[in-house]
Chain A
Amino acid sequence: MLNVFYAEILKLKRTQLLWLTLFGGMLPAVLSIFGQSRNLNWNELLINNSLFLNIMIAPLLLSLLAGFVVVREYGDNTINQLFVYPHHRVKILIGKMIIILFLSTAIFVLNYALTLAAGSIMSEQSVSEELFWKFTRAHAWMLAFQALLIPVTMTVGIIGKSFIPPIVLGIVAVLINMMGMQGVEDHIAGRVTFVSYIPFGSMIVHLLDIMKANVPDDIYRIHALYPQAAVFLLFFLFNVFYYTKSEVHSGS
């Protein structure tokens, strides 16, 4: 398994994916910092950063990233060779999932570290322990939820064998996220309930809940873990089946 994983890391050498990871981690932090006045408000900074990252950047970027890892094997015609290695195809699939998780983690860690570092440079006041742990918890949850969505993004890449389906999925995810956030901001209980059942949207409701950002208590919503975990299980099993059973024809 280690060889499979290491081979996946080697494949990323000199790709633009590493720059995208760096960019994805930096952009929300930079945007949040620029949104601050001279008197930096740590709570606002961390909320804005979390929203930028989880609503806009992460869904698109992680979709693109997962798509790249999966789709390039078809695009570069390396799938012929990949599937004749003496490894079970499930092992190869898991290797790819791990590398996507690895890059996703890098984006989240880099983003959080950069935000804290930039905030510390700009403000004389350091972040309070309470805020630090609250947003560490929020980041950890969001990373876990994003990780649970990796199989969905892989599925659209595997089936579509093109970068377009993962990008479309990313755009759809952003729209769902914005719909969820709008629902919370405008106190539309029905929409919040609806969105909390949909993967992607459910994690935004959860994020706003953790941050205590205007989420009404009087609406029914389920914990984001349920829709995300259900989607993970469903699409992971589908990918295992598809990867194991699929045939590789000329030009596929």
Chain B
Amino acid sequence: MEYILKTSGLTKKYKTHTAVDGISLSLKKGEIYGFLGQNGAGKTTTIRMIMGLIKPTSGRIELFGKDAESSRKSAFERIGSMIEIPGFYTNLTAVENLDIHRRMMGIGNKESMEESLEQAGLLDARNKRVKNFSLGMKQRLGIARALLHHPELLILDEPTNGLDPAGIKEVRQLIIDLASKRNIAVLVSSHILSEVQQMATKLGIVHRGRLVEEIEQQDLQMKNRHCVEFKVSNEREAVMLLEQKMDIRDYSVPEPGVIRVFEQLSESAAINRMLVENRIEVAEITMLRETLEDYFLSLTGGELSA
């Protein structure tokens, strides 16, 4: 399947400091890639390299299946982006700012401005000067601008900065709708786990310039479950007994001699008794309460915002 965006070994070095270190990520149509990392982890630098604002020291970027360096102009016609706090001509109104964007993108249709303002919830403020906008309104206008030319790839850097809880929810729903209904690929960065967790189909965790983990949504949910871990003498026999005697189907064997049971957690004493009665030695029973947050904190050294 053709990737909308693909980076391979993307690296940016500044003298002695490596801001981005060999990041490889890929994004297909309809996917929402959550790019998660603490402030200064390298998210914005990566996005800036993808958008041609910063030149990579090494590595390759492919946009719509073509090398970005040679096809940037045609690729940019298909990308909508909002990088950091979006900038606007503050002497102009929301519509006038979008009109500049419309002309620069070579779009003839003026109705698309109203349409994108409506999507971003800014239709009532269309004739208000941007200098009177709050940060949240500017974020919304940035999203409206990014959507104006109906992009196939949407790159949003911290899109919910400055938004109130209702605004965050609206933007999240908008991103989910764009991906599912219009089949748009979305790369969205954030330092807030709960924000991307709720919309991303794939999550990339960046820490100190490196992509430390890339995880699919379904695997992500697995990380958020409680379980009882049994260290046993014979895991093969033990799982057979769990299924036959206790009707337990939701378990995993992460390593030899270890079984994690995800159901009937209150029955751990009964499970232990059953295993012992069937001559399985149980060396240790542990209740694991690792949450998704704990998992990410372990990856990033405890520096992510939950």
Contact = CB atoms under 8 A, between A and B. Distances in A.
Interface of A: 3-4, 6-7, 10-11, 13-15, 72, 76-81, 83-88, 247-250
B139 interface: no
Contacts of A83: 52-53
Contacts of A7: 100, 103-104
Given A77-B87, A80-B87, A11 B44 contact: no
Most chain A Cβ neighbours within 10 Å, of B76, B81, B85, B100: B100
Contacts of A78: 87-89
Contacts of B115: none
A13 B51 contact: no
Contacts of A14: 91-92, 129
A248 B77 CA distance: 20
Interface of B: 44, 48, 51-55, 72-74, 76-77, 79, 81, 83-92, 96, 99-101, 103-106, 129, 145
Contact of A86 (B54, B87, B92, B105): B105
B96 A3 contact: no
Contacts of B77: 86
Contacts of A250: 44, 84
Given A84-B52, A249-B54, 14 more contacts: A4-B104, A10-B96, A10-B99, A14-B91, A14-B129, A80-B83, A81-B87, A84-B51, A84-B53, A86-B72, A86-B106, A87-B73, A247-B54, A250-B84
B104 A79 contact: no
A33 to B, nearest CB: 33
Nearest to B146: A81
Contacts of A85: 76, 104-105
Which A-B residue pairs are the 6 nearest by beta carbons?
A: A77-B87, A78-B87, A248-B53, A86-B76, A3-B103, A85-B104
Contacts of B86: 77, 80-81
A84 B76 contact: yes
A248 B84 CA distance: 12
B138 to A, nearest CB: 10
A4 B88 CA distance: 16
B76 A77 contact: no
A80 B44 CA distance: 12
A249 B46 CA distance: 11
Nearest to A252: B53
Contact of A11 (B53, B54, B72, B100): B100
A24 B179 CA distance: 52
A249 B105 CA distance: 23
Contact of B101 (A15, A76, A81): A81
Given A80-B84, A84-B76, A85-B76, A11 B105 contact: no
A187 B84 CA distance: 59
A81 B142 CA distance: 10
A76 B89 CA distance: 7
16 contacts: A3-B104, A3-B106, A7-B100, A10-B96, A11-B89, A13-B91, A13-B92, A76-B87, A76-B90, A80-B83, A83-B52, A84-B53, A84-B79, A247-B48, A249-B48, A249-B54
B61 to A, nearest CB: 13
B274 to A, nearest CB: 59
A79 B76 CA distance: 15
A87 B104 contact: yes
A239 B51 CA distance: 21
B92 A10 contact: yes
A248 B48 contact: yes
Nearest to A17: B91
Nearest to A249: B54
Contacts of B79: 84
A77 B142 CA distance: 12
Contacts of B96: 10, 13
B132 to A, nearest CB: 13
A72 B54 CA distance: 20
Nearest to A89: B52
A85 B92 CA distance: 19
B77 to A, nearest CB: 5
Contacts of A6: 103
Contacts of B104: 3-4, 7, 85, 87
Contacts of A84: 51-53, 76, 79, 81, 83
Nearest to B78: A86
Most chain B Cβ neighbours within 10 Å, of A10, A15, A80, A87: A80
Most chain B Cβ neighbours within 10 Å, of A15, A84, A247, A249: A84
Contacts of B90: 76
B73 A77 contact: no
Most chain B Cβ neighbours within 10 Å, of A14, A72, A79, A83: A14
A81 B83 CA distance: 8
Nearest to A248: B53
